[in-house]
């Protein structure tokens, strides 16, 4: 009888340890995924000044220049379930993470309907932030003055994701 009790206790203890580890992984994914999702929502809603503040590695790009480029772009993230699919954390350190995700896009006819790739996120002031260069690339505008270069996002098809 004592052996059964000991085995049951050990099994329950192991199950609680495994579930705690899973919760930590889910929380990390949840924080990264929520941050990226929130950033894409701000972009879709056209709140470009707020978007500028939510991005990392702004470099020499001024707020005014960024806002103008974003206003000139017709590409923006899709809504709802099409906004982000297949979110995976590839690497996470204390202040940097790399994720792989498919972002649904809307915009002018003939433009890409999604982009699937790795994105680097940086944690600053306790918040995970996408890179400004990634947003400009997806939006189809160059990070350089005077340039409107289209991104290399792939068009979505039933055969290619």
The 10s digit of each residue's pLDDT in 102-112 is 999 998 677 66
The 10s digit of each residue's pLDDT in 64-78 is 999 999 999 999 999
Pair of tokens at residue 106: 């809307």
Per CATH, domain 2-139 is 3.10.450.100: yes
Q: Helix or strand or coil: residue 94? A: coil
Domain layout of the chain by residue ranges: 2-139
Put simply, whether the predicted model's pTM sits higher than 0.75 gets the answer no
Residue 19 sits at the vertex; the CA angle it makes with 24 and 38, to the nearest 5 degrees, is: 35
Q: Helix or strand or coil: residue 66? A: helix
**Measured between alpha carbons, how far apart are the two ends of the chain, in Å?**
56
Distance in angstroms (rounded) separating the CA atoms of residues 70 and 65? 9
Q: Where are the beta strands (DSSP E) in the chain?
A: 55-56, 76-77, 84-92, 96-106, 114-124, 127-131
């Amino acid at each position: 009888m004592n052996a059964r009790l000991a085995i049951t206790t050990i099994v329950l203890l192991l199950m609680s340890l495994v579930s705690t580890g899973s919760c930590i992984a889910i929380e990390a994914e949840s924080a990264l995924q929520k941050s990226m999702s929130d950033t894409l929502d701000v972009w879709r809603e056209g709140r470009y000044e707020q978007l500028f503040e939510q991005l990392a590695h702004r470099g020499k790009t001024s707020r005014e220049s960024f806002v103008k480029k974003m206003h000139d772009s017709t590409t923006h993230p899709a809504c709802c379930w099409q906004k982000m699919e297949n979110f995976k954390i590839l690497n996470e350190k204390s202040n940097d993470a790399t994720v792989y995700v498919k972002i649904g896009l809307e915009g002018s006819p003939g433009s890409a309907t999604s982009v699937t790739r790795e994105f680097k996120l940086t944690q600053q002031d306790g918040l995970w932030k996408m890179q400004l260069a990634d947003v400009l690339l997806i939006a189809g505008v160059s990070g350089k003055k005077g340039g409107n270069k289209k991104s290399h996002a792939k068009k979505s098809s039933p055969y290619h994701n």
